[in-house]
A = this chain, B = another copy of it.
């Protein structure tokens, strides 16, 4: 039986990949992925055959993986972060229903929320939500409802895809919704280029976040009502009692 591994390569830095992900990439025949991600791993697995498709060609990329696997080759389809969080595993399993002879296995990775949290301090120690601000595949009303409900229940919130050329004011709009329930002093943070060249983080208030420019390489963190700034880091307490 042919096999496709859907592999989360983590934020980008080779060391942030799991040992299993690296072993799968070492042992497979072909590595398939979005051009940018393939470029991130290429130097470490230079003896492999690589196949790439550009952005917005996700369905084609998945079908390509199954076609190559049908030729008795072991395929690794790579995703940045984790393949199961806004990644390709779902589509691979949907399309895989048409290829019953090909097994699909997901290799978990460090998604941007987890990798970015490690850079910022400890923003996600307590209950939190991930929300993507991209309305390319999701109705904007659904995104707004999720922002509203998550804020009202005092969740920590991580925003994926906070901005793009067409959606330059989406973060501001999202902050306005969150400000209905969260204090303007809520501790927030942004991380750019997690685990890559130019990694950068900043801790700020929700009021400041509202007027902050972000791009598609930014992950945005909004604290809960207990989140604090400690020595420049963003820290959400779990609730342990400290005897001081």
Instruction: Report A's interface with B, CB cutoff 8 A.
Output: 8, 10-11, 13-20, 22-23, 58-59, 82-87, 89-97, 100, 106-111, 114-115, 117-118, 121-132, 137-138, 142-143, 145-146, 148-150, 152-155, 230-231, 233, 235-243
- A59–B178 Cα distance when bound, in Å, is 33
Query: What's the Cα separation between A214 and B104 when bound, in Å?
Result: 27
- Pick the contact of A138: B115, B126, B152 (CB < 8 A): B126
Q: Residue of B at shortest CB range from A14?
A: B19
Cα–Cα distance between A155 and B100 once the two chains are bound (Å): 30
With a cutoff of 8 Å between Cβ atoms, the chain B residues found around residue A149 in the complex are: 149-150, 152-153, 155
Q: List 8 extra interface pairs beyond A10-B18, A16-B18, A108-B117, CB under 8 A.
A: A15-B20, A16-B20, A93-B233, A100-B231, A126-B132, A138-B239, A142-B154, A149-B149
- B14 near A90: Cβ-Cβ < 8 Å: no
Minimum CB distance partner of A95 in chain B: B242
